Chains A and B, each alone.
Chain A
Amino acid sequence: MPLSSRHLLGLQGVPREDIQLILDTATTFREVLERPIKKVPTLQGKTIVNLFYESSTRTRISFELAQKRLSADTINFSKSGSSTSKGETFKDTVKNIEAMKVDMIIVRHESAGVPQFLTRISNANIINAGDGRHEHPTQALLDMYSIRERLGKIEGLKVCIVGNIAHSRVALSNIHGLKSMGAEVSLCGPKTMIPKGIESTGVKVIHNIDEAIANNDVLNVLRIQLERKAGSTIPSLREYHNYFGITSERLEKFNRDIVILHPGPINRGVEISSEVADGPYQIILDQVTNGVAVRMAVLYLLGTKN
């Protein structure tokens, strides 16, 4: 059964069967990543453009590796060093790239809605790799894959997203994805970092980190985004760490099994202590490995869909 859409713009409104299909397909590609030759010829002849208007390490490398491992031809575009600095509009850039016959566009942009806009001006399959504060669907998919890999299921689990929710596209994609897969989702952070009205998505909001640790199976700890001026919503990073930082002392107080995710890059000593970031509860590097498999699955499912 193929996916219901030919683009992946976000997880809002994506049916559960589609998420399930992506996660199941990713299992196949996880196996490919363990082989001596980590490459299959499935997307031979397809051309994919990585259109990154915002800096990225993990996501871009992960997408590029996923594309190469499926034998697609890839082109990387980044804002600096392009004709954007000569004043070319976004639309013109995309039209020109498309004129070179590309099949798929992976886009990251600082403005929400850019991937949506792309679907109107281009015939390629569009995958959102993060748009403003809106969504980052492949991150949420790999988070769910990693949770399922560790705990065997998603349905019925209690998952708390901790930190700077207001500035986070990872949070929004996770909320939509996890809800649709049947998890119970809550948010934890200082009031200034939780957007007003977020409860309408069906999540619970709490402001006490001990409560979050005590009542959840999974904590998805988000980064304090210094580049998006998160600093102005909290008195100091140190105070944030004192009230919301995940530390071994806090985890040990409750002495229970809990799985800790972090989308990276980590601010050690701010949202999470170094000890926890390298400790037994976290699956941060599994997330990175799984990210390649999940992106291969998305590329495969969209790239071979007629």
Chain B
Amino acid sequence: MNIKAKIIDEDGLKRTITRLTHEIIERNKGTENIVLVGMRTRGEFLAQRIHEKIKEIDGSDVDLGVLDITLYRDDFRMRLKQPEVSTTDITFDVSEKDIVLIDDVLYTGRTARAALDALMDLGRPNTIQFCVLVDRGHRELPIRADFVGKNIPTSINEEIKVKLKESDGEDAVYLIDISKEA
């Protein structure tokens, strides 16, 4: 793995989460109608952190769910490896709610497209807002995020690697070079 730069460190991530949480609360004029949905796997952990932060700021315990979008992917026919399906865990009713959908990286927008379809099958939410830690550009679909931790313009020979303590043992965001070595 060829690391080009560490873009966000542990303290930076903490501040980013705090800022995103404030933005979410501000946009929704409180937390009353909000539910959080994290996308497996790292979006789930980010959602948990935002959930904690909301509790800290506002004292409220908003509903938190996890979404698995495997069944909604558009690349089944093209992939060599069969994706492993995991379970969606949303035990509350999303109808009439303001869903904040949370993921780590926004890239082509295809995952977000799948997530929107998946959420629509669960009910008719009032709004769906999209929160990402990193937006790296190169969209292939007309999708944008409502809350962005950091905009990082990248080339297609680069990759964004988000690491979180829950899954990777550290909190950091790296810019990786994946171009073939000259």
Chain A residues proximal to chain B, CB less than 8 Å: 1-2, 25, 27-28, 31-32, 35-37, 39-42, 300-301, 304-306
Contacts and interface: CB of A to CB of B under 8 A. Distances in A.
Contacts of B68: 28
A2 B82 contact: yes
B179 interface: no
B79 interface: yes
B76 A39 contact: no
A300 B79 contact: no
A25 B85 CA distance: 6
Contact of B76 (A35, A37, A42): A42
A31 B88 contact: yes
| Chain A to chain B: the 4 pairs with minimum beta-carbon distance, closest first | A40-B71, A37-B121, A2-B82, A42-B71
Contacts, number: 44
23 contacts: A1-B82, A1-B84, A2-B81, A25-B85, A27-B87, A28-B71, A28-B87, A28-B88, A31-B87, A31-B88, A35-B121, A35-B122, A36-B121, A36-B123, A39-B121, A40-B118, A40-B121, A41-B117, A42-B71, A300-B85, A304-B76, A304-B82, A306-B79
Contacts of A304: 76, 82
Contacts of A300: 71, 85
Interface string B81-113: 110111111000000000000000000000000
B122 A28 contact: no
Interface of B: 68, 70-72, 76, 79-82, 84-89, 117-118, 121-123
Nearest to B85: A28
Best-surrounded residue of B70, B76, B88, B123 (most CB of chain A within 10 A) = B76
A37 B76 CA distance: 22
A36 B70 CA distance: 19
Nearest to A306: B80
Nearest to B73: A42
Best-surrounded residue of A27, A37, A301, A306 (most CB of chain B within 10 A) = A306
A25 B83 CA distance: 11
Nearest to B78: A306
Contacts of B86: 28
Contacts of B81: 2
A300 B85 CA distance: 10
A8 B76 CA distance: 20
Nearest to A304: B76
Contacts of B80: 306
B94 to A, nearest CB: 10
A72 to B, nearest CB: 12
A304 B87 CA distance: 18
Best-surrounded residue of A28, A31, A32 (most CB of chain B within 10 A) = A28
B84 A41 contact: no
B122 A36 contact: yes
B59 to A, nearest CB: 31
Best-surrounded residue of B72, B80, B81, B121 (most CB of chain A within 10 A) = B121
A23 B150 CA distance: 40
Contact of B72 (A27, A37, A40, A306): A40
Contact of A306 (B71, B82, B118, B122): B82
A56 B71 CA distance: 29
